[in-house]
Structure 1
Amino acid sequence: MPHTRLKLGILIDHYTIPAWAWEMLSLILKEDLAEIDLILINQSPKASGTKSSFLYRVYSKLDRAFFKVNRNAFDRKDIRELPGLNAELIRLKPIQKKYSDWFESSELTRIIERKPDILIRLGFRILKGDILKIPALGVWSFHHGDNLVNRGGPPCFWEVLKGWETTGSVLQILSEKLDDGKVIYRSWSRTDPLSVHRNANKVYWKSLYFIPRNLERINQVGIAQWKVECEKWEANSTNDVTLKPPGNLEMVGLGLSHLAKTLKRKIKENLNKEVWQIWLGSNAGNSIADLKSLKLLPNPKGSYLADPFLVEEQGATYLFVEQFDYAKRKGFISFARLTKRKAFEFELALEEDFHLSYPFLFKEDGKWYMLVESSSSKSLRLYVANEFPSKWKLAKTWFEGKEMYDPTIVKKDGLFWLFVNEKPHSGASSFDELCLYYSEDLLTGDWISHPLNPIVSDVRSSRPAGNLFIENGTWFRPAQDSAKHYGHHIRIQKIVFWDKENYSEQTFKIISADWSPGLMGTHTINFSKNWLVLDSFKR
């Protein structure tokens, strides 16, 4: 039988709300995830806390001027222009204490009469009192920061100015204590090292999906099961410090330090070209413990090699890679035949007008297939070998219109499983979210989305880094850890549960690029019967 739609109330300060919030509400209505039954508008909006310092405001203005974004999450859009919105408007005038908003019983009665299941806080200040108890599922609110280490604000600021690797974002059910409510979603992004504005922009665009995902999950499994699943987000906070905007003197120190780090970074990037390289080693005993014995393959002139994959065919081992051409500023797929720890000259396997990378190869029904990353074409492209290993033709195009990254397929339980990173929004990052799909037939393109998608929302362990493998009955998934910078570490993720309804994993091992001096990272690892191959990054 059809589910009863949840009733939502939206707390706002003004009719115009940020674009990210407008798109979130639009998605809820478009997908019929819930009914937006009432709009609660603040009749006397007031800023939280004291006025920001002059130098902080100057810094913020300069940051927005110098670091532009393609889509600004903070542009204003009128909530009354939401397609399909049919909500009652209730004007509220809160009792304003130092930093918090309270409400008279007469105003609370008006809300109680509407029997909302959830109130979504997109305005007002710190909410206190009985309003927190009115909705059956609580008042939902965002904290754009990791509340385990960073309460208060400003959002996405301290992470940049203090050089923290990750910027967290949290959806919580509010309690009386600041940023310490019941967490119902967590995610982590790589901190933009240069700009608070850019850092916040990508985090806010991503976070617009947190509420729709929770609403969809409630509709799928019911409130009781949803509450059980939310327990996975709970963790003990190790930091009770509440941050606030810096004063003028503190801003001087932070600004000078940030400027020095930025100049140092830009000089290093301009003087030292980005170089990826391939390393080969023995796979005796399927061991990845001894990386000191890896041997470096020289890069072809005018290009670098990355994303190595190994396949065996008729007694020979082939190494497929992304070969990035510096002059053309794009990658293509090349290969070499391996023998006695040496590679022959690399030959062209596949080139398109757009960038190609991550040549994931597999054999099915006697045919070799290659699934490549082709995010710039906004699709996934599957190729089949006419003549292995050098001639390939397009067999199938999947997910038209989507930007998808590092697609990895494995066959399990009679199904094809596709692990792939997705950009949830054009303004968000491609590094944060891993999605899982499954299909009974490889070529139909009838991919079914896993109900927990994205199964990972963490830049430290989302993006695929090579073939999945199985040891002693346990599946392991190599994943990129790009928190510090792109391609910093590889994490070997141990898969704990995995079927059509469930998925969970945990970090088993971290692989660092420490087998040779000067290396800054590694982001792809693969094995064959006799070989182990990784890539590395340096400047």
Structure 2
Amino acid sequence: MAEGELRIGVLANGPEVQRWQRLALEQLLAVPGVRPVVWVTPPDGQEPDPPKDRWRTALYRRWRRTRFDPPAMRPERIDDLLAGVPRLHCEVQRKGHAERFDPEDLEAIAAHGPDVLLRLGLGILKGGILDLPRHGVWSFHHGDEEKYRGGPPGFWEIMQGDPLTGAVLQRLTERLDGGRILRKGWFNTIDHSLAETVDTVLTHSAVWPAQVARELLMGRNEAAEGVASTTNAPLYRYPTNRVCLDFLLRQARNKARFHRRELQEHEQWNIGLLHQPIAELLKEKPNLNVRWLPDPAPDAFRADPFGYRTADGQLNVLYEKYQYAQGIGDISRVRPKRDNVLKRSRTMLTTGEHLSYPYVLEHDGAVYVVPESAASGRVELYRVNEANDALEHVRTLVEEPVYDPTVFQWQGRWWLFGTLAPLTNAALHAWHSPSLEGPWEPHALNPLKLDVRSARPGGTPFVHEGRLYRPAQDSASTYGHRIAINEVLELSPDRFSEQVVRVVGPLSGTAFNAGLHTVSAVGDVTLVDGKRFVNVDEQRKRVRTRKLERLKQKKRSK
């Protein structure tokens, strides 16, 4: 690899690939310093061997051809991306399920000096091709290789009721789906739609080759070494006709249940207090004796609590006040009393657009608030003015629609963590700055992680015994199900790693026991929120109207 350059080769079946594969190649080639040097395809007309089980799997194959159409798998061409790049036609030798290149073809590929080969086609590769490029052959496996080897992606997760569908970018070895893991992520399994599940996983994992390439160009050769997979997971194959029929019935039942829940089960959050510092949650069995505020109105909820104390020691809790009749949230304040009697809450901020997650931080003697204002497409900074009991706008921090923006200082820099649509629960992004007011720059490796179990911020980062911890939401089973506390192992403008060290919630045995998605620190008090489900007429009408409109749009598009 020449200094400042990464030479890429592409393995494909031809000039036509799936949309997600083109996206992966586009993002890789957009990295400064990446240069495509060779393009390898089978000779025109070389067809894959027909499947031996084509009759036993005929129903699934027919369903895929006629009823299964995720946008990520639609065909697109890549010859425009590889214009001027030498193309080699290499006939692979098939033995069983494995494919090998002839020695002459290996020499021809090696003559172009690729540092990496990105596999976008062909079959199960074995032999000398795996060791030919310096940084190996990179290949995607869409599934958690520790549970599912083989395929098809997403199918067996739905069949087994697994709420998570994994994906990996691996450096291939001789072991099927047992290579060296370069990147790994976890996404929600959408159990009523295999197409939506597959589209999400394929589209959003496509960024990984570009991320690894950036690290290599920073001089981190270890980025292409990865971690060896030791999986002994069963090897899955295309489903038989009987299994496919069971799948179609299961997916239909799941869809009916999904629509019923949307119509009948609506979230109601409430705020609770734990009279202990937030670091107590790191204990193996923390005290979760929560004191809930009085129940919200039947058609409203209180969520995302953050607090501060005024000069007289009064606890002020800012939160998202959501009323189903309006359909948007605003930022309100309550002052909890020991007797649990609440006076009327005060509205602190309303913009006509949805607001939530009023993150509180203190700096240079002032109290600042950074609410989620993703609907406006910006992250705004406000200051609490105790003299007139108001939030005063200071400045815009980031011109991005960030969800649950969380701002903190660590090792001399300011950090802003949050997620971006469409993966608001899974795609963690970060920005950094020398000062609170900016300028803010995106992290070199955004998105930092793709993990619905521990990405989206869920409260106040805190330092305990010199270590930085970051609460995050675990929405694997349902949105806001529980809190995962990450220990941040490495954080700099071009590095990041963390690991989950504790999971908290939901708060069973209480009135709000269906979810927990915020834990925030106010000295010796920790604020939390809890979820239960209610049936709200206004929301049911809104959902019904939305569903009818979608049906009309589908009919018009046919």
| 1:45/1:519 CA distance change after superposition, 3 Å | farther
**What is the alpha-carbon distance in structure 1 between the residues aligned to residue 370 and residue 122 of structure 2?**
49
| 1:170/1:283 CA distance change after superposition, 3 Å | same
Amino acid at match of 1:381: E
Partner of 1:357: 356
Query: Which secondary structure does the structure 2 equivalent of 1:256 belong to?
Result: helix
Tell me the CA shift for residue 386 of structure 1: 4.8
**What is the alpha-carbon distance in structure 2 between the residues aligned to residue 302 and residue 518 of structure 1?**
15
Query: Which secondary structure does the structure 1 equivalent of 2:470 belong to?
Result: strand
| Partners of 2:467 and 2:487 within 8 A in 1 | yes
Query: Which secondary structure does the structure 1 equivalent of 2:319 belong to?
Result: strand
Give the TM-score normalised by the residue count of structure 1.
0.89
- Written as runs of structure 1 = structure 2, the 5 A alignment for 1:1-400 is 3-43=3-43, 44-46=46-48, 49-50=51-52, 51=54, 53-57=57-61, 59-60=63-64, 64=68, 72-82=71-81, 85-223=83-221, 225-227=222-224, 230-231=225-226, 233-237=227-231, 239-283=232-276, 287-288=280-281, 289-300=286-297, 302-314=299-311, 315-340=313-338, 341-386=340-385, 390-400=389-399
| 1:130/1:537 CA distance change after superposition, 3 Å | same
| Partners of 2:10 and 2:118 within 8 A in 1 | yes
Give the TM-score normalised by the residue count of structure 2.
0.86
Amino acid at match of 2:152: P
Amino acid at match of 1:3: E
- Please say if 1:442 is aligned against 2:440: no
Tell me the CA shift for residue 530 of structure 1: 4.6
Note the alpha carbon deviations across 1:250-293, whole angstroms, 9 max, x for none: 22233333433443343233222222222233237964522234
Note the alpha carbon deviations across 1:451-504, whole angstroms, 9 max, x for none: 454443321111111011222333222111111111111112233444556543
Report which stretch shifted further, 31-40 or 310-319.
31-40
Note the alpha carbon deviations across 1:412-447, whole angstroms, 9 max, x for none: 333222222234xx5xx2222323332112113x22
Note the alpha carbon deviations across 1:162-217, whole angstroms, 9 max, x for none: 21121111111112221111111111112112111111111111111100000000
Amino acid at match of 2:163: E
| Partners of 1:36 and 1:85 within 8 A in 2 | no
**What is the alpha-carbon distance in structure 2 between the residues aligned to residue 471 and residue 507 of structure 1?**
15
| 1:348/1:519 CA distance change after superposition, 3 Å | same
Gaps of 5+ in 2: 534-558
Amino acid at match of 2:363: E
May I ask how many residue pairs the two structures share in their alignment? 521
**What is the alpha-carbon distance in structure 2 between the residues aligned to residue 377 and residue 462 of structure 1?**
22
| 1:122/1:317 CA distance change after superposition, 3 Å | same
Amino acid at match of 1:398: L
Tell me the CA shift for residue 92 of structure 1: 2.2
Tell me the CA shift for residue 108 of structure 1: 2.4
| 1:170/1:534 CA distance change after superposition, 3 Å | same
Tell me the CA shift for residue 387 of structure 1: 5.4
Note the alpha carbon deviations across 1:27-51, whole angstroms, 9 max, x for none: 2333324111111122324278554
**What is the alpha-carbon distance in structure 2 between the residues aligned to residue 293 and residue 524 of structure 1?**
13
Tell me the CA shift for residue 226 of structure 1: 3.0
Residue in structure 1 matching 2:417, options 407, 416, 419: 419
**What is the alpha-carbon distance in structure 1 between the residues aligned to residue 329 and residue 149 of structure 2?**
42
**What is the alpha-carbon distance in structure 2 between the residues aligned to residue 58 and residue 324 of structure 1?**
46
**What is the alpha-carbon distance in structure 2 between the residues aligned to residue 188 and residue 388 of structure 1?**
47
Note the alpha carbon deviations across 1:139-169, whole angstroms, 9 max, x for none: 1110011111110000122112321121111
Partner of 1:507: 500
**What is the alpha-carbon distance in structure 1 between the residues aligned to residue 364 and residue 38 of structure 2?**
56
| Partners of 1:63 and 1:197 within 8 A in 2 | no
Partner of 2:556: none
| Partners of 2:5 and 2:35 within 8 A in 1 | yes
Query: Which secondary structure does the structure 2 equivalent of 1:114 belong to?
Result: coil
| Partners of 1:348 and 1:390 within 8 A in 2 | no
| Partners of 1:172 and 1:184 within 8 A in 2 | yes
Amino acid at match of 2:265: N
Partner of 1:404: 402
- Please say if 1:535 is aligned against 2:523: no
Query: Which secondary structure does the structure 2 equivalent of 1:80 belong to?
Result: coil
Gaps of 5+ in 1: none
| Partners of 1:36 and 1:86 within 8 A in 2 | no
Amino acid at match of 1:320: L
**What is the alpha-carbon distance in structure 1 between the residues aligned to residue 474 and residue 388 of structure 2?**
31
**What is the alpha-carbon distance in structure 1 between the residues aligned to residue 24 and residue 496 of structure 2?**
26
Query: Which secondary structure does the structure 1 equivalent of 2:36 belong to?
Result: strand
Query: Which secondary structure does the structure 1 equivalent of 2:351 belong to?
Result: coil
Note the alpha carbon deviations across 1:48-92, whole angstroms, 9 max, x for none: 855482332455467647xxx7xx22232221223x743111122
Query: Which secondary structure does the structure 1 equivalent of 2:72 belong to?
Result: coil
**What is the alpha-carbon distance in structure 1 between the residues aligned to residue 37 and residue 269 of structure 2?**
54
| Partners of 2:269 and 2:512 within 8 A in 1 | no
Note the alpha carbon deviations across 1:353-388, whole angstroms, 9 max, x for none: 321111102233343321122223232222234557
**What is the alpha-carbon distance in structure 2 between the residues aligned to residue 176 and residue 235 of structure 1?**
12
Amino acid at match of 1:433: A
| 1:392/1:293 CA distance change after superposition, 3 Å | closer
| Partners of 2:398 and 2:440 within 8 A in 1 | no
Tell me the CA shift for residue 527 of structure 1: 2.7
**What is the alpha-carbon distance in structure 2 between the residues aligned to residue 134 and residue 371 of structure 1?**
51
Query: Which secondary structure does the structure 2 equivalent of 1:154 belong to?
Result: coil
Residue in structure 2 matching 1:476, options 465, 469, 481: 469
Partner of 1:433: 427
Partner of 2:537: none
Query: Which secondary structure does the structure 2 equivalent of 1:508 belong to?
Result: strand
Percent of aligned positions that are identical: 28
Partner of 2:539: none
**What is the alpha-carbon distance in structure 2 between the residues aligned to residue 113 and residue 306 of structure 1?**
61
**What is the alpha-carbon distance in structure 2 between the residues aligned to residue 391 and residue 518 of structure 1?**
30
| 1:285/1:536 CA distance change after superposition, 3 Å | closer
**What is the alpha-carbon distance in structure 1 between the residues aligned to residue 16 and residue 497 of structure 2?**
39
